[in-house]
Amino acid sequence: MKKLNVAIVGATGAVGQEILKVMEERNFPYKNLKLLASSRSAGTQINYQGVNYTVEETTEKSFQGIDLALFAGGPASKAFGREAQKQGVVVIDNSSTFRLEPDVPLIVPEVNAHALQKHQGLIANPNCSTTIMVAALYPLYRYSRIKKIVVSTYQAVSGAGKEAIDELTLQIKQVFEGKPVNPEVFQYQIAFNLIPHIDVWMEENYTKEEMKMVYETQKILEDSEIKITATTVRVPVYRSHSESIYIETEEPISPDLARELLQKAKGIIVQDDPQQNLYPMPLFASEKDEVYVGRIRKDLYEPNALNLWVVSDQIRKGAATNTVQIAEELIKNNLI
């Protein structure tokens, strides 16, 4: 496999660290590695495959001699994504900055790797909740077009970064010790609570997180006619997002056929034996790359409808692993 000069932008953050971990696990080919972050993190030492790397501040000059830049997300994407592209670097970005830009393919490799053929040097990784949902639904969509999706998410605090993880831990301790809880990362106390509000409010009182799932799913599936409604909820779970999904298809898909289609799909694990209490849970999906699907059942009223329960580690398949998989596709198909 071709070896590249690789830069990780945001290398000290949760997603950046996970990208490095996934690269090592998958033995990703590289010639030289450059680790970049904000000025605040510059100078940090990171050991990767037995070599100590000093994190450098991200600047416009950081991309000289770089073939591939993996952006972990955040303000650096907007500041340097297009600049790196202009310098001839192929950029894979985890932020929402470029996802809906017409010249930027939005990729889940198991679903639409073909869209990489037309990349112009900048590729977007979808929102983690979108990636998880689309990966689970695509094997069914391929059998019969999905007309409608209703999804409710149960999103782990790690989706909001390390500070959110620390806040949940602190609040649990404060509650048990009878101390006052003063939220800083979230709008309200997250310990022993659910918050039906992720990201900023948009039109018709939907949040940006919810609308990401609408527009990104339509773009990935190349189907702007799918009717999608989402409710995204933050839950007091450390890692791995869960989703309750209702779909209506043009042709009926029985639960048995759905299981068969999903079991044959790459990157999907079916855990669906309710009588044995077998179903996906975030506790067991964490640190894994697969998307877990269970609770597959017919809708009680609509003959062409199914309900599913989907769980996946949003830091891995929802971000880091999907990013590395995109890079592997580029190399495999000589697109870089």
Residues 38-61: tens digit of each pLDDT: 999 999 999 999 999 999 999 999
- Which percentage of the chain shows pLDDT scores above 90? 96
Judged by DSSP in three states, 129 sits in helix
> How many contiguous H segments (helices) and E segments (strands) does the chain have?
9, 14
Instruction: Examine the domain organization and report whether 233 and 136 are in the same domain.
Output: yes
Residues annotated catalytic, as ranges: 128, 241
Whole-number Å distance between alpha carbons of 208 and 200: 6
Annotate 86-113 with b (16+ C-beta within 10 A) or e (fewer).
ebebbbbbbbbbbbeeeebbbbbbbbbb
Instruction: Examine the domain organization and report whether 122 and 144 are in the same domain.
Output: no
Instruction: Examine the domain organization and report whether 147 and 76 are in the same domain.
Output: no
CA distances from 16 to 42, 74, 173, 214 (A): 14, 11, 28, 26
- 1, pLDDT greater than 80: no
Q: Report the candidate in 243, 253, 259, 261 with the shortest Cα–Cα distance to residue 306.
A: 253
- 162, pLDDT greater than 90: no
Going by pLDDT thresholds of 50, 70 and 90, the confidence category of residue 161 is confident
Instruction: Examine the domain organization and report whether 163 and 274 are in the same domain.
Output: yes
> CB 128: neighbour CB atoms within 10 A?
27
Instruction: Examine the domain organization and report whether 45 and 185 are in the same domain.
Output: no
Which helix (H) or strand (E) covers residue 261, if one does?
Answer: helix 255-263
By residue range, what is the domain housing residue 294?
A: 130-314
Instruction: Examine the domain organization and report whether 270 and 143 are in the same domain.
Output: yes
The 8-class DSSP code of residue 127 comes to: P
- In the chain, the number of structural domains is 2
Judged by DSSP in three states, 27 sits in coil
Whole-number Å distance between alpha carbons of 10 and 23: 15
What's 169's domain CATH number?
A: 3.30.360.10
Instruction: Examine the domain organization and report whether 160 and 115 are in the same domain.
Output: no
Give the predicted TM-score (pTM) of the model: 0.94
Mean pLDDT throughout 302-319?
Answer: 97
Instruction: Examine the domain organization and report whether 94 and 142 are in the same domain.
Output: no
Q: Report the candidate in 147, 107, 116, 134 with the shortest Cα–Cα distance to residue 265.
A: 134
CB-based contact 144:253 (threshold 8 Å): yes
Instruction: Examine the domain organization and report whether 306 and 165 are in the same domain.
Output: yes
- What pLDDT is attached to residue 90? 97
